[in-house]
């Protein structure tokens, strides 16, 4: 299934229980689509102008009752899924364009901007509970480990950070790599953090040892790994700047099979609530839904979680205990010299007046 969105989409997300998928577009609009697996049809339910500039991130929250979007105009917006009515708006969420947005807990979301700031938001109080200013460049991606309440973020400055939401402190930051870190997932039951880079290398970090990566998988080079999507504890789906989607195994590291392709670089990936469909957007303005069940099982694969081989288990695992996070809290000093920065197109910033969530 596929549909022409009419503009580039920076972010997509699936409803947690219904056959709905949302897409945020470069023109600031939010599109909501309903897809039917049996008839292979996808129909637009709603189109709204959510932001004055590009909508860079989309997330369903509150068990799918609401959609939260983040924008280059520095705003964060919450709207009702059923009616499209605006529930709350934070017009001045960040000092710079908001680039990423993830759900942390049932009542908490996290956002990252183009200046490297990460903010934690309480959706009940509609206020910022804490912010972390550890990075020197844009926040490219974030993920969360709920068992230890750790937020992991990657940045265009070439570093990875781990923030402890229990103590509201930066737990650790990696040393500066030569390339930007563009995407991140936590795998192997919390023992490994996998990052996609600009030169195509997948960098693997062992939990509790974040200063430098423990392994590198170079088979993607030289295609930039712009987005990663965790399928299970042993497999990840990669989206690259050559438009190729691939299923990749982690420890042992291998490209298992191609999944599909776009004509232009991949922008975002998401899984449907039943894990049957993979959603992808790219610079070709297309939203595509891939039937993973047919693609992977047709190649003698398995969509379920595969057991972790004994040989893959790491002796440096901390089993999610805070006491075993061995890296210190002091971030490394930035390296001298300039590096190339790969950022999403950023429209001119619009001045806004409100600095809190306002009921509308």
Within 169-293, strands assigned E span: 169-173, 181-187, 192-197, 202-206, 215-217, 225-230, 235-240, 244-249, 254-261, 266-271, 277-282, 286-291
pLDDT at 316: 39
CA distance 108 to 133: 18
Confidence at residue 325, expressed as pLDDT on a 0 to 100 scale: 52
Q: pLDDT tens-digit profile of 209-268?
A: 999 999 999 988 788 999 999 999 999 999 999 999 999 999 999 999 999 999 999 999
Average confidence score pLDDT of the chain = 86
For residues 175 and 355, the model is more confident at: 175
If asked whether residues 20 and 117 sit together in one domain, one would say: no
Q: What is the pLDDT at residue 220?
A: 83
What tokens does 244 get? 């190729």
Q: Residues for the chain: how many in total?
A: 360
Long-range contacts of 197-200 (CB under 8 A, 24+ apart): 197/224, 197/225, 198/224, 198/340, 198/342, 199/224, 200/224, 200/225, 200/240
Give the span between the Cα atoms of 21 and 289, in whole angstroms: 10
Q: Are residues 43 and 158 both part of a single domain?
A: no
Q: What is the pLDDT of residue 326?
A: 54
Let me know whether 251 and 150 are in one domain.
Answer: yes
pLDDT, greater one: 267 or 347: 267
Among the listed ranges 52-61, 80-89, 110-119, 302-311, which one has the minimum average pLDDT value?
Answer: 302-311
Hey, how many other C-beta atoms are within 10 angstroms of the C-beta on 336?
5
Q: Domain span at residue 182?
A: 106-261
Residue at 40 is within a domain: yes
Q: Is the dihedral of CA 239, 240, 241, 242 positive or negative?
A: negative
CATH no. for residue 44?
Answer: 2.130.10.10
Residues 38, 55, single domain; the answer is: yes
What pLDDT is recorded for position 357? Answer: 43
Same domain as 80, residue 50: yes
Is the same domain home to 198 and 155? Answer: yes
**What is the torsion angle, in degrees rounded to the nearest 10, for the CA atoms of residue 174, residue 184, residue 188 and residue 171?**
40
Name the percent of the chain lying above pLDDT 90: 76
Please report, for residues 25, 110, 158, 175, 225, the alpha-carbon distance to residue 342 in angstroms, rounded to integers and kept in the order given: 19, 22, 11, 19, 12
CB-CB neighbours of 329 under 10 Å? 13
| The residue to which tokens 């609009």 are assigned | 29
162 and 197 together in one domain = yes
**Same structural domain for residues 71 and 6?**
yes
Q: Count of domains in the chain?
A: 2
**274-292: pLDDT as tens digits:** 999 999 999 999 999 999 9
Same domain, 33 and 178: no
Least confident segment among 5-19, 117-131, 328-342: 328-342
- 3-state DSSP call for residue 311? helix
d(CA 321, CA 238): 29
Same domain, 111 and 230: yes
pTM for this model (two decimals): 0.85
pLDDT at 304: 57
Report how far residue 100's alpha carbon sits from residue 141's, in angstroms, rounded to the nearest whole number.
6
Does any domain span residue 220?
Answer: yes
Query: In angstroms, how far is the first alpha carbon of the chain from the final one?
Result: 36
Does residue 163 sit within a domain? Answer: yes
42 and 130 part of one domain: no
Residue (of 326, 260, 268, 349) closest to 296 by Cα position? 260
Residue 331 has pLDDT above 70, yes or no: no
């Amino acid at each position: 299934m596929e549909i022409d969105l009419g503009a580039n989409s920076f972010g997509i997300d699936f409803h947690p229980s219904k056959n709905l998928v949302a897409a945020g577009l470069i023109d600031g609009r939010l599109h909501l689509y309903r897809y039917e697996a049996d008839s292979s049809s996808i129909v637009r339910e709603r189109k709204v102008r959510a932001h004055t500039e590009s909508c860079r991130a989309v997330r369903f929250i509150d068990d799918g009752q609401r959609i939260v979007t983040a924008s280059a105009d520095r705003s964060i917006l919450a709207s009702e899924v059923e009616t499209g009515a605006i529930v709350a708006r934070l017009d001045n969420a960040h000092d710079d364009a908001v680039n990423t947005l993830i759900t942390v807990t049932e009542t908490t979301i996290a956002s990252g901007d183009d200046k490297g700031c990460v903010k934690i938001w309480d959706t009940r109080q509609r206020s910022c509970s804490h912010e972390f200013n550890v990075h020197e460049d844009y926040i490219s991606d974030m993920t969360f480990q709920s068992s230890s309440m750790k937020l992991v973020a990657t940045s265009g400055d070439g570093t990875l950070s781990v923030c402890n939401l229990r103590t509201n402190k930066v737990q650790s930051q990696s040393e500066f790599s030569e390339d930007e870190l563009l995407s991140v997932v936590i795998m192997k039951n919390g023992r490994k953090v996998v990052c996609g880079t600009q030169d195509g290398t997948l960098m693997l970090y062992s939990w509790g040892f974040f200063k430098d990566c423990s392994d590198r998988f170079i088979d993607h080079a030289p295609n930039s790994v712009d987005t990663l999507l965790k399928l299970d504890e042993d497999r990840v789906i990669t989206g690259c700047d050559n438009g190729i989607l691939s299923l990749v195994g982690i420890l042992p590291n291998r490209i298992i099979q191609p999944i599909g392709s776009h004509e232009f670089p991949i922008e975002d990936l998401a899984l449907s609530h039943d894990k049957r469909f993979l959603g992808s957007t790219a610079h070709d303005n297309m939203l595509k839904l891939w039937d993973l069940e047919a693609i992977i099982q047709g190649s003698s694969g398995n969509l379920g979680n595969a057991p972790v081989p004994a040989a893959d288990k790491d002796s440096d695992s901390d089993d999610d205990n805070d006491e075993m996070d061995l890296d210190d809290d002091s971030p490394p000093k930035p390296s001298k010299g300039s590096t190339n920065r790969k950022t999403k197109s950023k429209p001119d910033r619009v001045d806004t007046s409100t600095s809190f969530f306002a009921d509308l």
